[in-house]
Amino acid sequence: MLDIKFIRENADAVKKAVKDRGLDLGLGTLLKLDAEKRKLVAEMEELKYKKNLLSEQIAQMMLGQKAGAKDLVGDAKALSQKISQLKPKVEEIEPKLAEMLLNVPNICHKSVPVGSGRQANKIIRSWGKPPKPNFNLRNHLELAEHLGIIDFTRASKITGSNFVLFMGQGARLERALYNFMLDLHTKKHGYTEVFPPYLVNRASMTATGQLPKLEEDMYRLKDDDYFLVPTAEVPVTNIHRNEIFKEEDLPKCYTAYTACFRREAGSYGKDTRGLTRVHQFDKVELVKFVTPESSYDELESLLKDAEEVLQLLELPYRVVALCTGEVSFAASKCYDLEAWAPASKTWLEVSSCSNFTDFQARRANIKYRSSRTNKPEYVHTLNGSGVALARTVIALLENHQKPDGNISIPKALLPYMDGKTEIGNPHI
């Protein structure tokens, strides 16, 4: 959430930032409401000041038994009445203003490319070489069927379309991947592992920026105001809601595995076959709480941690800086990692690494005591997928397939697959 004072004092810059995102929020209405509230509050404060002066004067007159005190009492009551008339007007404006503020996005960093749509994103670098085999590649759907490792038909019977049932070595591969990532991030990169709830309350979803904007994309319980987590970012960021860090405890870095649940409202009919767009998927998340001065350096470090996952999995990928129209609502800057799927001939987003500056921290009231000011100030929060598994599995199957349809296991995963060097068809 942006500070209303910042919006007020930088109205033109905020309007441009919102426009660069391709949004039209009517900030004029918000500023008008803010001005009206400030006018009413100032008027109330002036009346309270006059009433306090009168109260002191009345007390002195009554103490000295001077005449005229009763007249002043009437004047004080009149002031109280005016104050009581103004108070509900302020109380009526405050929730409207708060709701409008929740719908104002973060300001994009000056380095973010201005534009809309994927074509305006900027490719920063690439890693690895896409395979050029001398045999016909099978896509991940064909490989999954050949190997018997994913059963989409039975998953649909159990739940519905766009859910996944991993079987046998497919289930083992899924478990191997997130265990490998958790070990990498905890043992080498220094993150603390947490295992959070899969259900979160409305306050948690609002704090990280999923609500109110993205509510239609979320799974909400009918009888309780709880949501299935769309990403571990939500519960992990909220670990420190309404808390104040010691500066020496920053950066605070967490990693967490969760299943993630998204309705993907409005996306039906688009990339809906196989693992490309599913309603439940596994993901290992990276979350950082840092000082404002270090947050953009920490973003680059976070990105490298996510990149190492793909490098160790021997997957060609590229780093893409998202443009203003593609950066998420709460982020100021975001990099996507896109892995190459050679049979599908497409780049698949498998990670987003974002700096939210103090946007989430203001909503969640997360601060640290600054050594510079000796006052509580808002932290900066960052997170990134380290990485998301559904699409990573697509890239792994398609990049590491052999002519017979078996899948070679990357060296980094061998300890997690009982030393097996490949996934083969158990019936051949």
Residues with catalytic function: 262, 277, 349, 352, 391
Burial class from Cβ neighbours inside 10 Å (0-12, 13-18, 19+) for residue 145 reads middle
Distance CA 413, CA 149 (A): 17
8 A C-beta contact, residue 73 and residue 58: yes
List helix spans (H) across 209-327.
233-237, 295-312
Q: Note the Cα 31 to chain centre separation in Å.
A: 27
The residue type at 296: Y
End-to-end CA distance of the chain: 57
8 A C-beta contact, residue 95 and residue 300: no
Two structure tokens written together for 252: 């605070």
Give the distance between the most distant pair of CA atoms in the chain. Answer: 109
Two structure tokens written together for 98: 């708060």
DSSP for 56-111?
A: HHHHHHHHTT-TTHHHHHHHHHHHHHHHHHHHHHHHHHHHHHHHHHHTSPPPPPTT
Two structure tokens written together for 132: 């050029």
Question: Within 10 Å of residue 394's Cβ, how many Cβ atoms?
Answer: 25
- What distances in angstroms separate CA 296 from CA 239, 256, 331, 338, 371, one per listed residue? 22, 22, 12, 21, 20
Two structure tokens written together for 77: 């009551």
Closest C-alpha among 390, 387, 388, 366 to residue 378 = 366
